[in-house]
Amino acid sequence: MAGLIDTHAHLDDEQFAADLPAVLDRARAAGVETIITIATSAPSSAASIALAERHAMLFATAGIHPNNIPEAGPTAWDAICALVEKERIVGVGETGLDRHWDTTPFAVQEEYFVRHLELARQHHLPVVIHCREAEADMLRILRSEFDRHGPIRGVMHSFVGDAALAEACRAMGLYLSFAGMLTYKNAAALRQTASQQPLDRVLVETDSPYLSPVPLRGKRNEPAHIVHTAACLAELLGIPPERLAEQTTKNAFSVFGFRFSVFR
Which residues make up the interface to Zn ion (CB under 5 A)? Answer: 207
Nearer to Zn ion (CB atom), residue 145 or residue 207? 207
Helices (H) and strands (E) in the chain, counts: 9, 8
Nearer to Zn ion (CB atom), residue 72 or residue 241? 72
What is the Cα–Cα distance from 23 to 37, expressed in whole angstroms?
A: 13
Q: Min. distance of Cβ 38 from Zn ion in angstroms? A: 5
Give the torsion sign (CA, 150, 153, 156, 162): positive
Nearer to Zn ion (CB atom), residue 207 or residue 222? 207
What is the Cα–Cα distance from 264 to 90, expressed in whole angstroms?
A: 12
Q: Min. distance of Cβ 84 from Zn ion in angstroms? A: 18
Nearer to Zn ion (CB atom), residue 152 or residue 179? 179
Q: Min. distance of Cβ 93 from Zn ion in angstroms? A: 9
Q: How far is CA 196 from the centre of its chain?
A: 20
Residue 62 backbone dihedrals phi, psi, to 5 degrees: -130, 135
Q: Min. distance of Cβ 61 from Zn ion in angstroms? A: 10
What is the Cα–Cα distance from 15 to 18, expressed in whole angstroms?
A: 7
Q: Min. distance of Cβ 109 from Zn ion in angstroms? A: 15
Tell me how many degrees the CA angle 161-165-167 measures, rounded to the nearest 5. Answer: 125
Nearer to Zn ion (CB atom), residue 9 or residue 241? 9
What is the Cα–Cα distance from 85 to 80, expressed in whole angstroms?
A: 9
- CB neighbour list of residue 59: distance below 8 Å, 6 or more residues apart: 34, 35, 36, 37, 52, 88, 89, 90, 256, 260, 263
Q: Min. distance of Cβ 179 from Zn ion in angstroms? A: 9
Q: Min. distance of Cβ 10 from Zn ion in angstroms? A: 6
Nearer to Zn ion (CB atom), residue 12 or residue 207? 207
CB 1 within 8 A of CB 198: no
Listed in order, strand segments (DSSP E) in the chain are 4-9, 32-37, 58-62, 89-98, 127-132, 154-156, 175-178, 202-204
Nearer to Zn ion (CB atom), residue 110 or residue 207? 207
